[in-house]
Structure 1
């Protein structure tokens, strides 16, 4: 298989994974109240403010929060759009990736992920995990489901995942990997589940990672 065909195959696999992965039961989604909460950022070494371009750079153990959302990185480049939304470009350092966590509307559940870089857009309410990406659904301290790949995009509003394989995937061969824990009757050994799991909707395409200019 030539490299171009292999890349297409990996991307196709990722889209199938998005259709199969489930995030629990019912119609619960990411914490809806987070969209209305203020954005807060603190850093260890301060940063640089570019007023003309509405761009601020934060350096050193940066912590960004917005309601239940918590992002930690070595560097965050924050840009404000003309209509008041924010775009955050976060990067880690050797041996320490960027981390992201957000509570779900289901009590005790959360989405958490790690990657070499993370992009967060408050307008689309989407998170892009880039490079050695791992995203999990957690239930308390336990891992419910886990996805790994080169690029993972998570839409907070619809809870749709798109996953892409490649050289920067944590898997040695660059493949996408998904672990889905049993739930409902399968988890308890009962004959029937208390409520059917609702699968995530498949995405039709992946956009290439954006890079700060």
Structure 2
């Protein structure tokens, strides 16, 4: 099994064009909608719960509860959790031509604006869609995505550790070529 390990980095590099987050989102206001909130204006920390929806430009995060923190220099961090049987979900438009989106879900999500990272814990999935093509998808117990470097890391435990026997990660790459119409294949077979 060890001889196949060099293939994993190659497969991950094939997924690297997961697209940078929409750069304009950083300069948009953040809106937090929830059932209940406790906000400390001195520390910049908010505790939110009940149908939490955070939007900022094209970024949208949905969770059951969480904590949002704003640093003195204006950067935001969020720690969000799903309720029983649910998932924290996020979606954001990616920079570049066409309709490109990155979306994901997990039991718990950490978002760090300064580092431009999203970390997904337990039952994590990230998908990249582009112009209605089949999505690229990654599934595992821990996924950390850096939108500036267009790079992500997967591990087989929710703690972010890689442990033999703990689980498997899955990467689904759509075909890069589009199949010809069914009639075109039948015509070639008849020749």
Q: TM-score range by the shorter chain?
A: 0.7 to 0.9
Note if contact 1:56-1:77 (Cα within 8 Å) is conserved in structure 2. Answer: yes
1:146 alignment counterpart: 137
* Counterpart mapping for 1:58-207 below 5 A: 58-104=48-94, 105-139=96-130, 143-166=134-157, 174-183=167-176, 186-188=177-179
Residues 1:51 and 2:41 aligned together: yes
SS at match of 2:143: strand
Cα RMSD (Å) of the superposition? 3.0
**CA offset digits 1:34-61 (Å, max 9, x no partner):** 1221111111x22112234321011111
Partner of 2:187: none
CA distance in 2, matches of 1:79, 1:66: 15
Alignment TM-score, normalising by the size of structure 2: 0.79
The answer for unaligned runs of 5 or more in structure 1 is 1-9, 190-213
Q: Tell me by how many angstroms 1:131 deviates.
A: 0.9
Report the alpha carbon displacement of residue 166 of structure 1 after superposing the two structures with TM.
2.5
Aligned pairs, number: 174
Question: Which of these two proteins has the greater Rg computed from alpha carbons?
Answer: 2
By how many angstroms is 1:106 displaced?
A: 3.2
Q: Return 15-24 or 88-97, whichever deviates more.
A: 15-24
Residues in 2 aligned to 1:34 and 1:99: alpha-carbon distance in whole angstroms? 18
Output one character per residue of 1:65-103: Cα deviation in whole Å (capped at 9) or x when no partner: 111000000012001112221111110011210000011
Q: 1:33 to 1:162 in 2, by over 3 A?
A: same
Q: Structure 1: how far apart are the matches of 2:8 and 2:46?
A: 34
Structure 2: where are the runs of 5+ without partners? 181-191
When the two structures are superposed, what TM-score results if normalisation uses the length of structure 1? 0.71
Q: Which position in structure 2 is the counterpart of 1:18?
A: 12
Correspondence for 1:41 = 32
